[in-house]
Structure 1
């Protein structure tokens, strides 16, 4: 069984997430925490395999908890579950080593898909003399909001970052503008944007200027 620590400042939300986890075969809730200090203490005391970590906590931010866990070389894995949608927070969480980044509100199926992908990858990697690309992809290549598998060469965590940039923006963005905010290359960012358009999660607008091709601008479908 994968033992999970649920961290959320809202008691009711934590209870909902706890219920979600208990419904997924192979997972059990080891404990809950509602502050950053309590989360750090619970990790030390309970030794969970996985933490579902809120970013907005009343005393210590989830990002600071991540930093301290990595500083202490904690072996616990972390999935961020938060309402924080700004690109900088997403990037900081990815740098801190989260396995996935789930934006509230989300459905049970979204969490279930992330947990199942996580446990499958851990099972394949545990005891293996070397990792193969397919297993690494299973670990890092979760698809946003349980959508169809990403095309070859696209990664779920990077897709989450591009989604966060689009959601945060009040206006449409060019691929170059989105890339600058996400800290990615323009070519790579455009591939993710076009994929989101094909999924129907973003829309593209053409801006006609002077001579040459019209500029493609992307907007999150709200």
Structure 2
């Protein structure tokens, strides 16, 4: 069994990743934690093979944990799972030795591909004392083919609607808006709008906070956080 630790500060994402991991044969969840401080004692105490690592968290970030793992010289592999899709972050992750890089949000199929590829690679090395150049080339080339980054939208979201929402957000500028207000501006249901806004929060385009009033349901308030037109174009154009 591949003993795995999930390090993710977003409870919803951590729950999804835990659920996804539970569907994978050959993997055992050691712990799911939300900070580097929680992760370090587990890594030092338990035998851990793989970490599914978020980058941006409160306190020390994922880069710090990755550096400490390498400094300790522990044979732990890391798959980065992050909304950061700029080339600097991706290159930094690969230079630190991450075996794969998943950009949030992603479908189960991409998660499955990453973990199956990792499991196959580990099984291959377990069976071999030495590798020929041909065997190594096949392994590396196969891995490259599996690691293509996708900018597909989550199921149920469409590019046309996302484009309308993005245009309205740009029109609003720095103004704070609620889910209901944006739903009325675009002309879709509040439930549908919530899915799009959660997606935009996942890829760090907007910030979202929950405002609790004296009575009634809490209100989600949003504001633009990242004018990354290049990232949005990737999702809008496929």
Q: Secondary structure at the match of 1:75?
A: coil
Call closer, same or farther: CA 1:37–1:171 in 2, change over 3 Å: closer
Q: Is the 8 A contact 2:7 2:52 kept in 1?
A: yes
TM-score, reference length from structure 2: 0.60
Q: Secondary structure at the match of 1:126?
A: helix
Per-residue deviation, 1:146: 7.5
Give matches, 1:1-222, under 5 Å.
1-131=1-131, 132=135, 133-139=137-143, 141-145=145-149, 170=229, 221-222=237-238
What CA deviation, in whole Å up to 9, does each residue of 1:23-81 have, x standing for no partner? 01111211111001112222112221100000011111111111111111110100000
Q: Structure 2: 5+ residue runs without aligned partners?
A: 152-226
- Return the alpha-carbon distance in structure 2 between the equivalents of residues 120 and 171 of structure 1: 35
What CA deviation, in whole Å up to 9, does each residue of 1:166-220 have, x standing for no partner? xx97369xxxxxxxxxxxxxxxxxxxxxxxxxxxx97xxxxxxxxxxxxxxxx98
Per-residue deviation, 1:127: 4.1
- Return the alpha-carbon distance in structure 2 between the equivalents of residues 43 and 138 of structure 1: 30
Q: Is the 8 A contact 1:122 1:139 kept in 2?
A: no
Call closer, same or farther: CA 1:19–1:129 in 2, change over 3 Å: same
Q: Is the 8 A contact 1:79 1:98 kept in 2?
A: yes
Per-residue deviation, 1:141: 4.9
Q: Secondary structure at the match of 1:29?
A: strand
Q: Secondary structure at the match of 2:146?
A: coil
Call closer, same or farther: CA 1:59–1:169 in 2, change over 3 Å: closer
Per-residue deviation, 1:136: 3.4
Per-residue deviation, 1:145: 4.7
TM-score, reference length from structure 1: 0.64
Call closer, same or farther: CA 1:130–1:45 in 2, change over 3 Å: same
What CA deviation, in whole Å up to 9, does each residue of 1:105-136 have, x standing for no partner? 01111101110111001101124122322123
Call closer, same or farther: CA 1:170–1:11 in 2, change over 3 Å: closer
Stretches (4+) displaced over 3 A: 136-141, 168-172
Pick which of 84-93 and 99-108 moved more: 84-93
Q: Is the 8 A contact 1:10 1:34 kept in 2?
A: yes
- Return the alpha-carbon distance in structure 1 between the equivalents of residues 5 and 230 of structure 2: 38
Paired positions, count: 158
Per-residue deviation, 1:140: 5.4
